[in-house]
Amino acid sequence: MTRVLVIDDEPQIVRALVINLKARHYEVDAAHDGATALQLAAARHPDVVVLDLGLPDMDGVEVIRGLRGWTRVPILVLSARHSSDEKVEALDAGADDYVTKPFGMDELLARLRAAVRRAEPVPGGEDEVVVDTAEFTVDLAAKKVNRDGRDVRLTPTEWHLLEVLVRNTGRLVSQKQLLQEVWGPSYGTETNYLRVYMAQLRRKLEVDPAHPRHFITEPGMGYRFEK
């Protein structure tokens, strides 16, 4: 769940934001002044910050600097001031976006979504998509299988089949489901394909292909991958 930190000293604005955000399943923290805000940010590590520049205890830009000292969390600034200088100052201090009050809630939420989306790690980035077994390792992102320090070469079909099984580690995958995912939706009965390609996977990955430990056959039903 995405966590939002709202910083504003006007209770009605905070209330409106909190209600709208919670309705959209965001987790919301709120602070009424800069000091509390910085503390909360450090404690809760929000995914995005909504900051009103007009705070009672400190300049909003100072809050931005305080945050930017240690985090790159997206900061969305709210302000009643339309002056161009204010915007430039806030943006150059490290804000990500600047919305002038009064603002439309739809727009604010859209900008919030944009800010959060941007901060997301690249899909297929460094996320750990590696599955380990005693004998081999499957890296789903790099499309690599390593066994005894060597890369194992898989054909597209073999890889596709392995992928479906590994993504369902421990679960039984029916023959029909495998056929449809690997060969396409119009397949479903060609179980001989499965037999051939399961055999090849086992030959390449199992220690003893005749007595598989990872690619288990469930007779009449399907196959199961076990670590």
Partner DNA sequence: CTCCGGCGTCAGAGTTCCGTCAAGGACGAC
Partner DNA sequence: GTCGTCCTTGACGGAACTCTGACGCCGGAG
The H or E element that residue 184 is part of is none
Distance of closest approach, residue 111 Cβ to its own copies, in angstroms: 6
Which of 49-79 are b and which e, b meaning 16 or more Cβ less than 10 Å from the residue's Cβ? Answer: bbbbbebeeeebbebbebbeeeeebbbbbbb
85 versus 208: smaller Cβ distance to its own copies: 85
47 versus 158: smaller Cβ distance to DNA: 158
Binding to its own copies by CB under 8 A, coded x per residue (else -) over 76-105, reads --------xx-xx--xx-xxxxx-----x-
Q: Which range of residues in 14-22, 94-102, 140-148, 218-226 is near DNA by CB under 7 A?
A: 218-226
118: contact with its own copies by CB under 8 A: yes
CA distances (Å), origin 133, targets 6, 16, 178, 199: 45, 51, 22, 19
Distance of closest approach, residue 153 Cβ to DNA, in angstroms: 6
Q: Enumerate residues 151-180 that contact DNA by CB under 7 A.
A: 153, 155-158, 175
Question: Around Cβ 184, how many Cβ atoms within 10 Å?
Answer: 9
The identity of residue 152, as a single letter, is V
118 versus 203: smaller Cβ distance to DNA: 203
Residue 191 site contact among DNA, its own copies, none (CB < 5 to 8 Å, cut-off depends on kind) = DNA
- Pair 166, 132: CB distance under 8 Å: no
Q: Two tokens at 176? A: 């029909």
Among 27, 73, 17, 75, CA closest to 51: 75
Q: Report the relative pairing of strands 172-174 and 222-225 from DSSP bridges.
A: antiparallel
Query: How big is the site for its own copies, counted in residues (CB under 8 A)?
Result: 41
C-alpha angle 43-44-50 in degrees, rounded to nearest 5: 115
**Count, residues in the chain:** 227
Q: Which range of residues in 10-18, 39-47, 52-60, 155-163 is near its own copies by CB under 8 A?
A: 155-163
* Site residues (vs DNA, CB under 7 A): 153, 155-158, 175, 183, 190-196, 198-199, 202-203, 209-210, 217, 219-221
* Site residues (vs its own copies, CB under 8 A): 72, 74, 84-85, 87-88, 91-92, 94-98, 104, 106-107, 109-111, 113-114, 117-118, 122, 126, 141-144, 153, 155-156, 159, 170-172, 218-221, 224
